[in-house]
Structure 1
Amino acid sequence: MHNGDELIKAVADNCDNTIPVIQSVGPVDMESWIDHPNITAVVWANLGGQELGPALVDILYGKVNPSGRLVYTIARNASDYAQPNIVREPQPYPQINYTEGVSVDYRGFKKGGKTPRFWFGHGLSYSNFSYSNLQVNTHSDLADNINIPIKYVADAPGGDSRLYDLAVTVSFDIHNDEIIATILNNGKHPKTGWQLLKEATLKEMFTNQVPQFPDFARNLEPTSPPQGWGLSFFTLLHPGPTGRSANAVFWTGLANLVWWADVENGIGGIMASQILPFGDSDFFNCHAEVETQLYAALPKSSIIAAVEPTREDK
């Protein structure tokens, strides 16, 4: 959120019991307001999903005792992190090389003698706990029957059978293409016939939500002409050079992954790699060639003509 720090301070200046709720995928710099006398607590909500609202109400009003713990360290200064920025010029995508070795997060703070605002594992609740009179007893019968190290049986399924008991065997089929097929089938699952997405929902998903920003994220897939932003994916504003029709939708992933669904031509697919950093030219060239060949193999009568982007589009 833009100017979020100023909003928190403005509320705290006028409310003597202010509790900021942070929804973030990583650490946030809170030094400008964390010591404000009217800020009595901070709730770190991460990304809580659709039931986050009721859950927060239960926590804030004491119906449920919070018990979460931080999964990373929150610094007092961004410069205290070994890798304060994950996006650097000239590449527009996240990349971390971990030049600090194993001194990541709290290890790095300890090694550098830096005191963070909140350590990894920090978390409070409405209860106070004290630990005392800790005792550890060694059971001789157990100690006598354990050989350390335990010899690993390499050819045993699941590892050394002395380390586990077989409780249940589970088998299943998994498919990763059915959501694309569902989109192509007007929201109806092609195998079960269930209507997973309403037609009105699909229509809204395919509607360009930011028509004023045709170049919003063109750098993510260099071969794409100007694009719009639907709900859950990008939308093409013009036919694409590989054969995609206008209004085809697509998305790209950080580890060089591309999926697309072209309803007008009735075709879609996914191509994935585990290659970093993002924007690998070999991957995108390969994907463009594969997609071009797929469109070329379609019956000519079913293809909505593709055109090369104009100079203004490029």
Structure 2
Amino acid sequence: MPISLVVILLVLFLGVSLQTSEALDPFACDPEDGTSRNFPFCQVKLPIQSRVSDLIGRMTLQEKVGLLVNDAAAVPRLGIKGYEWWSEALHGVSNVGPGTQFGGAFPGATSFPQVITTAASFNATLWEAIGRVVSDEARAMFNGGVAGLTYWSPNVNIFRDPRWGRGQETPGEDPVVVGKYAASYVRGLQGNDGDRLKVAACCKHFTAYDLDNWNGVDRFHFNAQVSKQDMEDTFDVPFRMCVKEGKVASVMCSYNQVNGIPTCADPKLLKKTVRGRWKLDGYIVSDCNSVGVYYSQQHYTTTPEEAAADAIKAGHNLCLDLDCGPFLVQHTEDAVKKGLLNEAEINNALLNTLTVQMRLGMFDGEPSSKPYGNLGPKDVCTPAHQELALEAARQGIVLLKNHGPSLPLSTRHHQSIAIIGPNSNVTVTMIGNYAGVACGYTTPLQGIERYAKTIYQQGCADVACVSDQQFDVAMDAARQTDATVLVMGLDQSIEAESRDRTELLLPGRQQELISKVAAASKGPTILVLMSGGPIDVSFAENDPKIGGIVWVGYPGQAGGAAISDVLFGTTNPGGKLPMTWYPQDYVTNLPMTNMAMRPSKSNGYPGRTYRFYKGKVVYPFGHGISYTNFVHSIASAPTMVSVPLDGHRQASRNATISGKAIRVTHARCNRLSFGVQVDVKNTGSMDGTHTLLVYSKPPAGHWAPLKQLVAFKKMHVAVGTQQRVGINVHVCKFLSVVDKSGIRRIPMGAHSLHIGDVKHSVSLQASIIGVIKS
């Protein structure tokens, strides 16, 4: 049986190796350097703010400008080495950024499933555990001199349009799920050592960024037109949760403009929102070369010096602290000389970046003296880490169809398997994009070979599937075996950064291959789909010859083992779709450039995501079935909740009238929540892990969503047993909606909670505290 996550985490906790690589020379404040070690900025006992101020005060303008870019220059006279800020750790330590290199003592790192797959687990505990493992391996590699400590991950943009090539990097389409993922993964990466950081994470790309290259429009020229309502209700939510709940050390602004202003030069977004309202404790970095982009491609400023000045201050407001790219190091000094910028404003930017480096311990002298200095090569790709990658893949697999049921397969009745398809024996395809070098791979073919004899045929040379030359031999294999598994779908040639899809159908002649093999198959036919984005497989859903459909996303280095464990019932699938699967005709006349979330009857605009779209779907958000059956019942829940209003605010005298929507800022939100107790019973024939999704349908209102997810929980329920689960619903956070002016309000009246097939109504009633001013 698979090792439980609890055991994995215990092993992770107890099994940290004391082995270390060769000692890394200190980044700064070398205890053997008799000059620099005596500077106040090297005194660990002093407050970090005092140390940073001392350091900034010792640098020349030229030295300061050299620190404004990702490949920050050394300051030899102060004993400070150069530093590469750009490293990536989306789902494992990656070598996409120049700050990380594999080889020697570190040939690879644990490659977890792509984020969209891990999100399908709906397991926040798992998300944080993965973050802890990734940061262990990142620190080990830093100690070995082959990685940095600043990781520009995770990607917490909303998967708004199903064609987006980078949707695979995100936790899906629901703002609350994406925000919860962001906060959980960031906590895992950054650790819980108070003000100190294990590594520094970064939530990107702020904001309204979800188009790369579609129909002649690219991310470098796109101006996203976003309403105040959609900004507050959708696009801001994950970033706010990342900053306020995850305490992330960095936010990255995006390439695109929002309502005519480049995000990296917009003081309303960066100064007022990220720093002001959300109180970011860290630095803001540009997406790579985005400052150069808004000068040379968007023509937002007339001179490069103006672009540099706008990046750093945008009027009198501090915007960027760090430029990924050379632009600021090339033009900032000239901007100062022309009076567009002053040195104090550069100091403010350095205050934020240097503080993060101080929090990482980079100015504390010998690395081995730090809390994580004992991590080394033997703490990378450990058996426990690789087992967690396998467990994450198992939890992220979603069973979409099981007619018959056809699954799970039996080692007794299905002793021979035809495994067919261009993704049947892939390795790097399984780890998606922004991946590093995996510890090793188990392909789907290798996984299935552990359970049965196999006949393997590709069917298509690759996922483009332009030829039917291999169809006949694939059909012959299906005729000879007890069952057929088709591993089809997409890869980075179809969906990737800078590559959006034009349609939702399977590429080339894949559909034809699937249908012909299914028709020829002697035994049950199972379709396994590897992809980041949704695919219109209506034909397979409606084909009685296709007994099962399984979506595995990009399942990481252990993907093949996880797939076979699910197909043969060693693992009971419990994943749920984190995004809606639309039919092809949904996107036929829908431009990716239309950012509106809500539908419009006047122009036939359908709306986006399960929260606002109510048309036909292939599979809905949250869909995912099991080999067993779960029954829900509500054990206890309130029928009425009082919402106390502060009468000393400018609250309306009509606030107590049912049907009104109260400003969140007028309610006393602290501890304004209620509990719901849900009983989940396993009435089937197999133990299983269940994903409990709790939705709220607000009172009718033209600007409210159709429904919204307010809570989710993961639990294991044995056959014939019942688990009671407590759900806490925070009224201001999860039962509020946003009006057309972008103001978050709490609708009074009946809110309907949906838990599986069970519904429960909770009436919110305002109560006035204090005196209302007229």
TM-score range, shorter chain: 0.3 to 0.5
Higher strand share: 2
Give the TM-score taking structure 1 as reference length: 0.38
Higher helix share: 2
